[in-house]
Amino acid sequence: MTTPCPINGERLWRTLMEMAEIGATERGGSCRLALTDADRAGRECFMAWAAEAGYSMRTDAIGNLWVRRPGSDDGLDPVVMGSHLDTQPTGGRFDGVLGVLAGLEVLRSLDDHGITTRHPVEVAVWMNEEGSRFSPPMMGSGVWSGAFSAEEILNKIGQDGARLGDELARLGWDGDIPADHRANPKAACFELHIEQGPVLEDAGLPIGVVTGAQGQHWYELTLTGQEAHAGPTPMRLRRDALVGSARVVEAVNALAADHGENACTTVGILDVYPHSRNVIPGRAFLTIDLRHPDDDTLAAMDADLRERVETIAAAAGLEAELKDFWHFPATPFAPELVVRVRAGAERLGYRQMDIVSGAGHDAVYTAKVCPTAMIFVPCEGGISHNEAENIEPEDATRGAAVLYEAVKETAV
């Protein structure tokens, strides 16, 4: 016998659609870059809903927001749900947002059912998960977990020249509690998220029980040749940085196929200098992203990339500077919490499958210092980081219901 859905799906969907109006784009998406006025407006909307429901709120020193429903033993470490409200420049309406607003819906539903948990239950809004305006991503959870120092992140300069610490102060988000898991510990962390890929939709299943996240390694590559006139310089005497970068792009793409079905490789940015029609490019800048769920394979991909870049640069007469930008290993989630997610879906009668996250999430950093699990729901066509990103209301409700079950079992 299955458990009735404990979530008010209409209320959850209404909050999702109201949040989508803040920073709405012409093509139906959302733009709330981290620490902008639009990001502030989204957070203030969320805080108004939380205040209306009677929950307390505090902001830590790196700008993470904590919304709290007390427990009967309020001195216990809280059980946390959360994600982010910031978006990509042409982002969708559900990436991150679903996890935050579903967390609020879980708190409201606990109230609706008159349930008192022993542990307090919190919703976290992590600062700058996307890493679009300020890089790298997952800054708020990264500082809280100790992956980054606060000083390092506060001094980051955004693409628009703004200093992150100054923007925190401008918004009033430089809070009064430490951004440190040792001073602000949690009993467990859960994150509900859209899958951002096509696996669940392809399988026709509504719930993904996330067992862990694959490792990622990001690089910045600068290839330097020599600018020269496009007319008088023979092809055989050129040191064309763009030609070299094209070969690197092709090599990065081929690298994935050489390391098995689970390998993913991407060149996301390619900038050419001096960017003139009749000048042979003397310099090219590329970003490279390697991912795999197995650390040994990711290490082999790293070695392979370095060898291919060196070979391509030598053949083209280019200098190559390959810098490590950001890296985290494959991350398993807490088995006891994964079991609770799976059991919650079973009680509700929702079909499910185990899945590994192909994207980085705040849960990757919380898992370093706190038992952590994730829940995925399908998104249409597997499309995300795109204004066309879409989910069905029923999937939002089912995901929030599984979150409710897992959190209740952990917090009671």
What does the pLDDT look like over 244-298, one tens digit per residue?
A: 999 999 999 999 999 998 899 999 999 999 999 999 999 999 999 999 999 999 9
Q: Are 150 and 61 in contact (CB under 8 A)?
A: yes
Angle made by CA atoms 344, 356, 205, in degrees to the nearest 5: 55
**Mean per-residue pLDDT of the chain:** 96
The structure's pTM equals: 0.87
Summarised one tens digit per residue, pLDDT across range 80-113 is 999 999 999 999 999 999 999 999 999 999 999 9
| Tokens 């784009």 found at | 25
Give the model's pLDDT for residue 261: 86
The token pair that represents 205 in the structure block: 């299943």
Give the model's pLDDT for residue 328: 84
Give the model's pLDDT for residue 40: 98
Angle made by CA atoms 408, 188, 101, in degrees to the nearest 5: 65
Residue 153 C-alpha from the chain's centroid: 17
Q: Residue 282 and residue 224: Cα distance in Å, rounded?
A: 6
Hey, what amino acid is at 348?
L
Q: What pLDDT band is residue 326 in, cutting at 50, 70 and 90?
A: confident
Domains of the chain as residue ranges with CATH: 9-214+330-411 (3.40.630.10), 216-328 (3.30.70.360)
Torsion on CA atoms 397, 125, 333, 73, rounded to nearest 10: -90
Q: Are 109 and 101 in contact (CB under 8 A)?
A: no
Give the model's pLDDT for residue 91: 96
Summarised one tens digit per residue, pLDDT across range 170-225 is 999 999 999 999 999 999 999 999 999 999 999 999 999 999 999 999 999 999 99
Measuring CA to CA, which residue among 191, 25, 10, 167 is closest to residue 95? 191
Q: Residue 205 and residue 71: Cα distance in Å, rounded?
A: 34
Measuring CA to CA, which residue among 251, 264, 259 is closest to residue 197? 264
Q: State the average pLDDT over residues 302-329.
A: 96
Over pLDDT 90: what percentage of the chain? 96
Q: Residue 81 and residue 96: Cα distance in Å, rounded?
A: 12
Give the model's pLDDT for residue 268: 93
